[in-house]
Amino acid sequence: MLGIGIGTAGAFMAGRLMSSWLYGVQANDALTFASVAVLLLLIALAACYIPAARATRVDPVIALRDH
């Protein structure tokens, strides 16, 4: 969440510098910023959930024995 906040603040600042490069989108379009933040949050949750779900299927005794 901290990274999303810092990234959003940086994007707002960079948006003014790159406003001439944007076509069809305002430099500080709130819908675009919110959509990207939600997308990145979902990707981060999937990146955490998938390995955790796999780890729950491993028998703890076997995992400890292999170490």
Residue pLDDT, tens place only, 5-64: 888 788 888 877 777 776 766 767 778 778 888 898 899 999 999 999 998 998 888 878
Task: Identify the pLDDT of residue 7.
Answer: 82
Task: Identify the pLDDT of residue 66.
Answer: 72
**Tokens at 42, concatenated:** 């979902």
Question: What is the count of structural domains for the chain?
Answer: 1
Residue type, 60: P
Task: Identify the pLDDT of residue 61.
Answer: 87
Q: Which domain holds residue 16?
A: 2-66
Phi-psi sector, 59: left (phi>0), alpha (psi -120 to 50), beta: beta
